[in-house]
Chain A
Amino acid sequence: GNSVTQMEGPVTLSEEAFLTINCTYTATGYPSLFWYVQYPGEGLQLLLKATKADDKGSNKGFEATYRKETTSFHLEKGSVQVSDSAVYFCALSERYSSASKIIFGSGTRLSIRP
């Protein structure tokens, strides 16, 4: 079945460092791809998404490009801030019965040092 694999954490960086969190997927068909973020004490929220090959999703300085040839959707940010400390989940959507469901990766905890 479909699945998402993302790099294990925790990841600890200094403020203003470059961030990459790797995500690869296995899927049949043409899923949409997502990054969700969970800030401490809060529910998950959508960070960005891409719906077809070569699309780039972006939000809050984060970017990810839907790479069908490498089945990847890596999250990047050029200069991280302390406020980016959170858990990041890569996810894909698949058709399931009369709706669609989203399959999540295991999450990557990111900590940014001032």
Chain B
Amino acid sequence: DVKVTQSSRYLVKRTGEKVFLECVQDMDHENMFWYRQDPGLGLRLIYFSYDVKMKEKGDIPEGYSVSREKKERFSLILESASTNQTSMYLCASSLTGRLNEKLFFGSGTQLSVL
């Protein structure tokens, strides 16, 4: 089965730090996504990528950037972490991006910004 691996399960960072969240998928999927999950708000899309070096803003891109230099790896970058970025971050991938296609999710990274 497809495996989506996020590099850290828990992270604690300080305000103003630059933070990198890494995600790797092992099934040659074209599309990769970063969501954040907050209680009562569900999942909100931050950025996604449909090809190497291609990226698209999602619904809440402010304060974030992404990098996709290789097909299997999609990184989320918090340029200067702030306390309101404390959240659960979920990476996902899909094969081709057809409307009926499911997403495969990683286990998530719980980020706390102090």
Interface presence of B114 (CB below 8 A): no
Q: What are the residues of chain B within 8 A of A107 when measuring CB–CB?
A: 42-43
Measured CB to CB, the nearest residue on chain B to A44 is B105
Which B residues are closer than 8 A to A by beta carbons?
Answer: 4, 30-31, 33, 35, 40-45, 48, 50-51, 54, 56, 58, 90, 92, 94, 97-103, 105-108
Which A residues are closer than 8 A to B by beta carbons?
Answer: 31-32, 34, 36, 41-46, 49, 51, 89, 93-107
Asked if B33 contacts A101 (CB within 8 A), the reply is: yes
Q: What are the residues of chain B within 8 A of A42 when measuring CB–CB?
A: 107
Q: Is the interface of B mostly helix, strand, loop or mixed?
A: strand
Asked if B99 contacts A98 (CB within 8 A), the reply is: no
Query: Shortest Cβ distance from B64 into chain A, in angstroms?
Result: 16
Asked if A100 contacts B105 (CB within 8 A), the reply is: no
| Docked CA distance A64–B110 (Å) | 31
Query: Shortest Cβ distance from A9 into chain B, in angstroms?
Result: 10
| Docked CA distance A95–B31 (Å) | 13
Q: Is the interface of A mostly helix, strand, loop or mixed?
A: strand
| Candidates A34, A46, A101, A105; contact of B45 at CB < 8 Å | A101
15 contacts between A and B (CB under 8 A): A31-B99, A32-B99, A42-B107, A43-B105, A44-B103, A46-B102, A49-B102, A93-B100, A98-B51, A98-B97, A99-B50, A99-B56, A99-B97, A100-B101, A104-B44
Measured CB to CB, the nearest residue on chain A to B4 is A43
